Structure 1
């Protein structure tokens, strides 16, 4: 870790300040500094011409190496900013957490894209308090795009500019999106995912399918996409994205329209005006 780097010096200073005055605004500044510092390291490792090894083992090794490089930068900064908070960095893990505060950190969200030379990857840090996401910072290094939100502030931001969910009022005019949350899901999850895509193809204007989840949820918050659903409880992408969408005025529930929590089995976030129709479309999926 190069502590002479100005970006790292800033991150070190902000994490120390946040620990001294641990309000959520100060913690957000520290989280932003941490994801930017880790993002700079990962951008230096990124090669748009990269072609990964031909076998799964080689892909997995590259993914783990990326995770290790990002964690080496960010973990110490975030733990210094909030001493005593728990730590979760398994990007495929899901479910509710024990009470208290936890950093939910994704070292390289969209890691599989990074190792394949694709630009859709980033770093996210979300502070969860008693199973409620309370602040998040999501950085996309290739685009130099930063999403931020603090719970209850009434706004989410893209590079400092407030975002609002779209004003669409009918699903047939909407762009909606989903994605495979992780490899190795159950056959029933894959069946539901396929059936839901068919249902949305019949109900919406355009259906997209890609990863990672947080990038799509950032676009829901910004009003560029009208809805996102996923049959998964993967925590890191959904916790960050749920907060961004909620603070941008969107609706966040499970696919049946019930309040979403970290313990929910599935997820739906959308513009308010198309939420009811989205729930109805997904109700066709048993």
Structure 2
């Protein structure tokens, strides 16, 4: 993937971010679920209406998929995977931690990623084999070598989990909290993956993988991190669970999670 393609994609994502930022208000509060769901849908539509034509012009041969909660393998070929507003629920409740996320996947592997955080005006980018960057400056995962000083995170890829998955999430949180310095549970997942890439977090694990995480996974990989499933095999879009971590803490974190029978 060329630098020109990345630049054009970044411009499209930042334009969509500006559209969403104009809709966003830190004073927003939703009185109930129906209103919240309406706002989520309206935000996603507004962003997708900018991204779809822009990305079609950038890479017309790539197919389009903005099912942010979709999972499983993709057919061969190129796909734009879109998470129109990562952390949308935060945006409609007036919180600042949300982003616009795009990845280009070729034959099942992410090859280009852009994550833009409009409120912070931070933009993370990556190309396969080309490194990961924050606002043009190269980023690398942390140099931690012990979980004792590690900041860890996990989150929900989508709402409405069954009771069994929620119980496993609780079990994993408890186990990691005993091993790491601090553990947080938050959304969007893409934001946590970007923080791992930047060395601000040391690891992130996920018990429900969705394809739209591909942008964050590529950022971590290109920043020197390790991303595997909980059996230690390389991450795939169809992996059910995964761990993204700095190399110095990946093995220890994997030991914590793999021993839980998740």
Displacement of 1:112:
0.4
Other-structure match for 1:43: 21
CA distance in 1 between partners of 2:162 and 2:107 (Å): 29
Displacement of 1:213:
0.8
Of the three residues 218, 232, 239, the one matched with 1:264 is 239
Other-structure match for 1:103: 80
Detail structure 1 runs of 4+ shifted over 6 Å in the superposition: none
Q: Which has the larger radius of gyration?
A: 1
CA distance in 1 between partners of 2:128 and 2:189 (Å): 19
Q: Does 1:93 align with 2:70?
A: yes
Q: How does 1:70-89 map to 2 (within 5 A)?
A: 70-89=47-66
Other-structure match for 1:248: 223
Other-structure match for 1:175: 151
Displacement of 1:31:
1.0
Structure 2: give runs of 5+ residues left out of the alignment.
none
TM norm structure 1? 0.89
CA distance in 1 between partners of 2:218 and 2:2 (Å): 14
Of the three residues 185, 189, 210, the one matched with 1:234 is 210
CA RMSD of aligned residues (A): 0.9
1:253–1:260: 8 Å Cα contact kept in structure 2?
yes
1:199–1:284: 8 Å Cα contact kept in structure 2?
no
TM norm structure 2? 0.97
2:211–2:238: 8 Å Cα contact kept in structure 1?
no
CA distance in 1 between partners of 2:77 and 2:180 (Å): 40
